């Protein structure tokens, strides 16, 4: 992708996650499978400014305008997070993206620190896909993003929180007696022999092993003295902050350290997304 020799590529961060992957038993007569130990690895490599300039030049050529490289992503995310109503300095932010988890801290003296660690939403998707043997990335993404239910009849679903929902129109036959993901477009069947509780445990365990672990280790790198207890509150940003359970999982992990955790709302209207873009615009306006 960069055109650099492999010998010049340096790994700056690595996250390894233990997992279990179903594998077909050799010599089995009925397609038997057994769980085997596996390791999922996310890596972040170091890039240089010249590679970013190549991207900037191509965007400039495509749009016919001037393109400049802005500031550090973490620092721009802090600027965007400060537009959330009620947020002030000092503030720590967690940007939960697809490939990395970024943490940044803006102190009362105006100094900022940022760190980027490997592993985020895409790794969670891969873990769910592998552990449930779905072999379908899009379906694994749906399982990650939406709550589950079990279709008990053509007119009744039991949700993962134990509540029962009755419907007036019969459910489609292909979801009958199946575990389904409850999307805005309707229930999507999950082709697995596992029960509703087992699928839910796989989903939550994958998020804890990636987002919770990364959130704690990233915040410790930017916290004063490496102590989470010296942080007052953390603002969650990025697409993964819109997940229906990740904010609660992180709040649960940070609560023992006395840290208040909440989802950002950029400019009071945009939710947790667009923080970096808003920060870049604000920085450009100040320089101009």
Query: What CATH number should be reported for the domain holding residue 171?
Result: 2.40.50.140
What integer best gives the mean pLDDT of the chain?
Answer: 90
Mark whether 226 and 278 lie in a shared domain. yes
Residue at which a domain ends, from 144, 172, 191: 191
Distance between CA 151 and CA 160 in Å, rounded?
11
Percent of the chain with pLDDT over 70: 97
Q: What is the 3-state secondary structure (H, E, C) of 93-110?
A: EEEECCCEEEEEEECCCC
DSSP result, 210-227:
IIIHHHHHHHHHHSGGG-
Average pLDDT on 46-64 reads: 84
In a domain, 55, yes or no: no
Mark whether 234 and 278 lie in a shared domain. yes
Mark whether 235 and 283 lie in a shared domain. yes
Token pair listed for 113: 């620190």
Burial class (CB in 10 A: 0-12, 13-18, 19+), 140: buried
Highest mean pLDDT among 43-47, 82-86, 142-146: 142-146
Mark whether 162 and 213 lie in a shared domain. no
In a domain, 107, yes or no: yes
Predicted local confidence at residue 74, as pLDDT: 79
Mark whether 278 and 138 lie in a shared domain. no
Range of the domain at 169: 134-191
Mark whether 173 and 221 lie in a shared domain. no
Mark whether 281 and 183 lie in a shared domain. no
Per DSSP bridges, beta strands 260-263 and 100-106 are unpaired
In a domain, 167, yes or no: yes
pLDDT(25) > 70: yes
Question: For the chain, what is the domain count?
Answer: 2
Mark whether 92 and 147 lie in a shared domain. no
Instruction: CATH number of the domain at 223, please.
Output: 3.30.420.40
Average pLDDT on 206-228 reads: 95
In a domain, 39, yes or no: no
Distance between CA 128 and CA 130 in Å, rounded?
6
Mark whether 207 and 282 lie in a shared domain. yes
Predicted local confidence at residue 8, as pLDDT: 81
Predicted local confidence at residue 177, as pLDDT: 92
Distance between CA 170 and CA 153 in Å, rounded?
9
Mark whether 100 and 242 lie in a shared domain. yes
Mark whether 252 and 147 lie in a shared domain. no
In a domain, 63, yes or no: no
Backbone angles phi, psi at 153, to 5 degrees: -160, 180
In a domain, 206, yes or no: yes
pTM score = 0.88
pLDDT(165) > 90: yes
């Amino acid at each position: 992708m960069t055109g650099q020799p492999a010998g010049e590529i340096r790994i700056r961060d690595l996250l390894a996650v233990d997992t279990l992957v179903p594998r077909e038993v050799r010599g089995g007569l009925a397609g038997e499978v057994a769980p085997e130990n596996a390791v999922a690895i996310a890596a972040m490599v170091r890039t240089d400014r010249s590679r970013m300039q190549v991207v900037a030049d191509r965007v400039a050529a495509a749009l016919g305008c001037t393109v400049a490289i802005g500031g550090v992503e973490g620092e721009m995310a802090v600027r965007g997070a400060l537009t959330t109503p009620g947020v002030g300095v000092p503030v720590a932010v967690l940007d939960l993206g697809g490939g990395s988890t970024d943490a940044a801290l803006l102190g009362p003296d105006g100094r900022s620190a940022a760190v980027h660690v490997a592993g985020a939403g895409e790794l969670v998707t891969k873990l769910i896909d592998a552990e449930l043997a779905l072999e379908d990335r899009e379906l694994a993404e749906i399982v990650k993003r939406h709550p589950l239910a079990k279709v008990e009849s053509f007119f009744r679903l039991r949700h993962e929180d134990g509540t029962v929902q009755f419907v007036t129109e019969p459910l489609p036959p292909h979801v009958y007696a199946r575990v389904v993901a409850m999307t805005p477009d309707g229930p999507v069947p999950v082709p697995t022999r596992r029960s509703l509780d087992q699928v839910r445990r796989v989903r939550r365990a994958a998020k804890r092993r990636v987002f919770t672990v990364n959130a704690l280790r990233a915040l410790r790198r930017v916290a004063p003295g490496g102590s989470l207890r010296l942080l007052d509150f953390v603002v969650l940003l990025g697409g993964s902050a819109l997940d229906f359970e990740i904010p609660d999982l992180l709040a649960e992990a940070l609560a023992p350290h006395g840290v208040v955790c909440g989802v950002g709302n950029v400019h009071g209207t945009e939710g947790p997304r667009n923080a970096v873009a808003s920060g870049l615009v604000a920085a450009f306006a100040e320089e101009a």
